Amino acid sequence: MFESASLPHRVEKTAYRRQEPKLRQSLLEAQYELLRGGRFATLILIAGIEGAGKSETVNLLNEWMDPRHIEVNGFGPPSDEESERPRLWRYWRALPPRGKIGIFFGGWHTEPVMDRVQGRIDSARFEQEMSEILRLERMLVDEGVLLLKFWFHLSKPQQKKRLRQLEKDPVTAWRVTGDDWDLYRHYDDFAAVCEPFLRRTSTAEAPWLVIAGAEERYRSLTVGRTLLAALRERIDEPPADRLPDRSPPLPPAVDRLNVLRALQLERPMTRADYARQLEEWSGRLNRLYRDPRIRQMAVIAVFEGSDAAGKGGAIRRVTRALDARSYHTVSVAAPSEEERAQPYLWRFWRHAPRRGRLLIFDRSWYGRVLVERVEGLCREPDWMRAYSEINDFEQQLARHRVMVVKFWLAISKEEQYLRFRARESTAFKRFKITAEDWRNRRKWVEYEKAVCDMVDRTSTGVAPWTLVEADNKYFARIKVLRTLVESIEAALAGFDAAAGLKVRAKSPGKPRRRQS
């Protein structure tokens, strides 16, 4: 894969002087068109061999274009903040918004590649990491990001020569450290990992672009022209805005039975019983958050449900049990301008909690497969791919010991009618009911289908859905509290057991639907 890039490519000084000003001018123009259009984000990954001109290229791009609209991110070892979050969090956080150019100096590939070179992970685990990278990059491209992955290459003799040159010049000598010579000595090990890595993570939509790094003028013109061609193609001949619809239709409903209708929504619970249980489960939750072991994990509680199903009330029963420093609540409404300029999961990734915290989502990323699907705010290929993207997201969280507990609060159509009417007739509740609620109610069957598909496609061993029978608010609130407490307790017990065992195969739990 490095055949072309190992050749002694070079561009003469005079040729370079002739071509460089035109290229700069065109790049600057393209950058401004990108900015004005605001249609897509451009993300440039800078990867490859040490000494192959990576940092020089980053500097050059900033010189050639307007650096105010370029965001450069260098990724070294993770900060405290970062290492308490899932591995991909810091890359998500740094994604460029539409209209801008982001440069990642190092990126999601660096850690797995170096871990593999240095033998910290085996080849099977490396395969897993590559498969995760493939899914992430496909998601970015599906979301419209122009992803350019540059791999700067030097042959082994070229790298040696380059390090020697840098050392000789007093201006650059500081840049060569013992680490660099160490990397040189392990050149072959590095190549043996990178070659299959590049092969497996090169796809039609996000191919690796291998750049011969030895000669500066050739390298600069190649990167510049590649970037220019990519920007121009995207600006001048935008691809069909939307993905083609290649999803087969999901199975239609054949009988009237579904996971929602199968629930017995009216569950008895007296006020006295409620008061007693509320005290018990609140106490247990509170004690859990004072247990030092809670620092080993984070919890995300997701609340979804029909309008007026009692999400707010249930959430308040959880937060009342806790010290305000242990939890944070995110109410999901329409995305902000900043959020609209990013892939749709970005606004949820940005909230990824640190260890020891409980993060509560009042509505969540599931909007994509619920309201956006039903109201036609996104097309079938987009909400269909969301199922796997969401599962990937939750798996990323789980791998980092962020437990996701998901509640669907279900009420009957009749109960909803009564609650809507009650809201309308009670002055202080009137703000809670709008014309939109009545409109949504008319699409009851469509929402029901969307909820059933969501449960079937995203209730996983990693992050199961809990369906909460919510016609009786007391019952619903207790079920939420109890499920949350029991899930956290089980996770902590799991950690304790794991600490006692060498290797513990994680068996996916059952969906908690049957616990009720």
What gap in Å lies between CA 260 and CA 250, rounded to an integer? 18
Give yes or no for residue 210 binding a copy of itself (CB under 8 A).
yes
Q: Of 319-358, which residues contact a copy of itself (CB under 8 A)?
A: none
Phi, psi dihedral angles at 216 (to 5 degrees): -60, -45
H helix count then E strand count, the chain: 20, 10
Q: Of 122-181, which residues contact a copy of itself (CB under 8 A)?
A: 122-125, 127-128, 130-131, 134, 141, 146-148
**Which of 37, 74, 157, 207 lies at the binding interface for a copy of itself (CB under 8 A)?**
207
Q: Of 2-41, which residues contact a copy of itself (CB under 8 A)?
A: 2-5, 7-11
Stretch that binds a copy of itself, among 220-228, 322-330, 409-417, 475-483 (CB under 8 A): 220-228
Stretch that binds a copy of itself, among 256-264, 274-282, 354-362, 481-489 (CB under 8 A): 256-264
Give yes or no for residue 209 binding a copy of itself (CB under 8 A).
yes
**Which of 110, 226, 296, 412 lies at the binding interface for a copy of itself (CB under 8 A)?**
226
Distance in Å, CB of 449 to a copy of itself, minimum: 10
Distance in Å, CB of 238 to a copy of itself, minimum: 10
Give yes or no for residue 98 binding a copy of itself (CB under 8 A).
no
Residue 24 corresponds to which amino acid?
R
Count of positions on this chain that bind a copy of itself (CB under 8 A): 86
**Which of 221, 265, 301, 404 lies at the binding interface for a copy of itself (CB under 8 A)?**
221
3-class SS of residue 261? coil
In terms of CB distance, is 207 or 312 closer to a copy of itself?
207
Give yes or no for residue 204 binding a copy of itself (CB under 8 A).
yes
Phi, psi dihedral angles at 46 (to 5 degrees): -115, 115
Stretch that binds a copy of itself, among 67-75, 252-260, 266-274, 344-352 (CB under 8 A): 252-260
Q: Of 179-198, which residues contact a copy of itself (CB under 8 A)?
A: 191-192, 195-196
3-class SS of residue 448? helix
Give yes or no for residue 199 binding a copy of itself (CB under 8 A).
yes
**Which of 330, 398, 457, 494 lies at the binding interface for a copy of itself (CB under 8 A)?**
457
**Torsion angle, CA of 195/200/203/208, rounded to 10 degrees?**
-20
What gap in Å lies between CA 162 and CA 168, rounded to an integer? 10
Task: Give the neighbor-by-neighbor strand order of the sheet with 298-305.
Answer: 327-331, 358-362, 298-305, 402-410, 465-469
Give yes or no for residue 376 binding a copy of itself (CB under 8 A).
no
Give yes or no for residue 225 binding a copy of itself (CB under 8 A).
yes
What gap in Å lies between CA 311 and CA 174, rounded to an integer? 59
In terms of CB distance, is 222 or 326 closer to a copy of itself?
222
Distance in Å, CB of 165 to a copy of itself, minimum: 21
Task: Give the neighbor-by-neighbor strand order of the sheet with 146-153.
Answer: 70-74, 101-105, 42-48, 146-153, 208-212
What gap in Å lies between CA 350 and CA 327, rounded to an integer? 16
Give yes or no for residue 445 binding a copy of itself (CB under 8 A).
no
Stretch that binds a copy of itself, among 168-176, 249-257, 265-273, 416-424 (CB under 8 A): 249-257
Assigned token pair, 200 = 């497996």
In terms of CB distance, is 3 or 179 closer to a copy of itself?
3
**Three-state secondary structure string covering 306-365:** CCCCCHHHHHHHHHCCCCCCCEEEEECCCCCHHHHCCCCCHHHHCCCCCCCCEEEEECCH
Give yes or no for residue 455 binding a copy of itself (CB under 8 A).
yes
**Torsion angle, CA of 495/498/504/506, rounded to 10 degrees?**
-10
Give yes or no for residue 508 binding a copy of itself (CB under 8 A).
yes
In terms of CB distance, is 244 or 376 closer to a copy of itself?
244
In terms of CB distance, is 88 or 221 closer to a copy of itself?
221
Give yes or no for residue 388 binding a copy of itself (CB under 8 A).
yes
Closest Cα to residue 491, out of 302, 355, 293? 293
Phi, psi dihedral angles at 149 (to 5 degrees): -110, 105
Contacts of 7 (CB under 8 A, 6+ apart): 212
